[in-house]
Chains A and B, each alone.
Chain A
């Protein structure tokens, strides 16, 4: 099994690698287009700002590369958001793998001191579907850190409720994505990573 983690200007890529290592899986962190194309599985992690990251991906032709991958691809956090059509963060067109849009959490007036942004910490996910969000994970807690969210749409594979229901995970064809961090979500996250690896 040849697993590649896409290396780009995003923070904390090593965390995903550490999580895979704890599962006894080795992965290569690389920006080499040939290695990414030839991998059995590709992980597209990410922590950072959407518009600057999109600009970086375009500059390095990673945008076209990622969109056209045929093997299973897992986007994490900003990775999920960048796989959508558009993000309000820096008002940027994203990869368009998923038609859903990325919006800023906007608490109702008077609620902003109660429902804090960023949405930070452990929240439960429900309405699971698809191959990596297996039924036993329903209502389990996973770790989120984000201020922008993906709206609920046709590709939603898990829903989380915070301020409004949003896509905690997406799935379409060979593309999988989570807003939360499976690499930081203990046993629940490990199960999701295992499910992805065993696709």
Chain B
């Protein structure tokens, strides 16, 4: 049976792991390769590395880091952050990334999804969507949740699928950093609309939250950062807990 995936996310700045609370107020927590390898050893099903470096020098550092990750880590990993052209994506894929995620650049230039799917295959393309509930309208935001756009969450997710996304990574900005659980209602609505897998992100605070996201939220994968980085939840404990709740996981 296809297992539900547990995906730790590592935010990278200048080659180091960081995690922001609501994406603001960043604090360094470690070496990405070391941390990634540790998570893989503990049973993480995939890893996501998000480059939040803005500078050109930082981008080059990230490509070198991706090469190192690909050499050391024996599970699939997605990289994202600042990818706005086919060439950016290609450099990361050639460096050994299994998938790339695009976010703001896809909102600004939706054709990028088509182009990436055509060039590399749909399975390489993860479309990440950060959205926030403004007066009962789920609005897509860009620049780490700071800028609302004119796009609506569900229609944008559907459009991304139609354009060739292989997966959707949905982060609720209302839930991110709260540790009060995932946006299960919205996730379930999205799951019922899309034929591609959905990675849920934002709000994980305890092990029950993962049970909820896989049952109520109908998600295919659950992504979290700080609860893993700060060792609040150990991946082996989470997996055996889920297994005890009859959720298919890889033990």
Contacts and interface: CB of A to CB of B under 8 A. Distances in A.
A175 interface: no
A162 B124 CA distance: 20
Given A14-B94, A121-B45, A143 B197 contact: no
Interface stretch (A28-36, A55-63, A110-118, A149-157): A110-118
B2 A121 contact: yes
B98 A146 contact: no
Q: Which of A11, A19, A48, A119 has most B Cβ within 10 Å?
A: A11
A147 interface: yes
Interface in A1-36: 11-12, 14-15, 18-19, 21-22
A90 B39 CA distance: 38
B28 interface: no
B71 interface: yes
B2 A14 contact: no
B197 to A, nearest CB: 5
Contacts of B19: none
DSSP majority for the B interface? loop
Given A113-B192, A113-B193, A141-B3, A120 B220 contact: yes
A48 B117 CA distance: 10
Interface in B193-222: 193-198, 220-221
Given A116-B197, A143-B76, A162-B2, A121 B220 contact: yes
A107 B45 CA distance: 25
B74 interface: yes
Nearest to A118: B123
A40 interface: no
Given A11-B93, A48-B121, A122-B3, 5 more contacts: A47-B123, A113-B195, A118-B197, A121-B45, A121-B220
Contact of A186 (B74, B192, B194): B74
A77 B124 CA distance: 14
A118 B196 CA distance: 7
A7 to B, nearest CB: 13
Interface of A: 11-12, 14-15, 18-19, 21-22, 47-49, 107, 112-113, 116-124, 141, 143, 145-147, 161-162, 181, 183-186, 189-190
B71 A117 contact: no
A185 B76 CA distance: 8
B2 A11 contact: no
Contacts of B74: 19, 22, 183-186, 189-190
B234 to A, nearest CB: 18
Given A18-B96, A186-B40, A123 B2 contact: yes
A107 B198 CA distance: 17
B159 to A, nearest CB: 17
B122 A147 contact: yes
A113 B191 contact: yes
Contacts of B197: 116, 118, 120-121
A189 B45 CA distance: 14
A22 B197 CA distance: 30
B75 A120 contact: no
A7 B78 CA distance: 23
A149 to B, nearest CB: 13
Contacts of B2: 119, 121-123, 162
Nearest to A182: B74
B71 A21 contact: yes
Nearest to B251: A141
7 contacts: A18-B70, A22-B72, A113-B194, A118-B122, A121-B3, A146-B123, A184-B98
Interface in B157-172: 166-167
Contacts of A186: 40, 74-75
